[in-house]
Amino acid sequence: AQSVTQPDIHITVSEGASLELRCNYSYGATPYLFWYVQSPGQGLQLLLKYFSGDTLVQGIKGFEAEFKRSQSSFNLRKPSVHWSDAAEYFCAVGEYGNKLVFGAGTILRVKS
């Protein structure tokens, strides 16, 4: 079965600093990979996705992620964090039947 690991439960960064959120997946074939963001009490918003092709994927709000097959990773990055980026971030892998398997999430705190 597919699984997604987000090793960091909480991360705190200073506003303006760079950010990297880690995601590792377990999947037998070429994965469909996603990053979502969830603000408190809200649903999920898609930040970016990887299906195939260029392994560096650009998303909304200045986020990017890099697919590394050799490391089974799909880490999310942002060069300069804004206070409004504080939220919970979920990595997910798509599996058969269009289902999504989510990681446990990483809560991002931004300090000014």
Are 81 and 20 spatial neighbours (Cβ–Cβ below 8 Å)? no
Are 45 and 37 spatial neighbours (Cβ–Cβ below 8 Å)? yes
Size of the residue set binding another protein (CB under 8 A) = 22
Q: How far is the CB of 102 from another protein (least distance, A)?
A: 5
Measured from the Cβ of residue 9, the count of other Cβ atoms closer than 10 Å reads 10
**Torsion-angle region of 108 (φ positive above 0: left; ψ -120 to 50: alpha; else: beta):** beta
Site map for another protein, 83-102, x if CB under 8 A?
Answer: -------x---x--xxxxxx
Count CA within 13 A, CB hemisphere, residue 36: 17
Are 11 and 106 spatial neighbours (Cβ–Cβ below 8 Å)? yes
Q: Which of 12, 69, 104, 109 binds another protein (CB under 8 A)?
A: 104
Which residue's CB is nearer to another protein, number 1 or number 70? 1
Segment interacting with another protein (CB under 8 A) among 12-20, 39-47, 64-72, 78-86: 39-47
Segment interacting with another protein (CB under 8 A) among 12-20, 35-43, 66-74, 75-83: 35-43
Applying CB under 8 A, which residues contact another protein? Answer: 32, 36, 41-46, 49, 51-52, 90, 94, 97-105
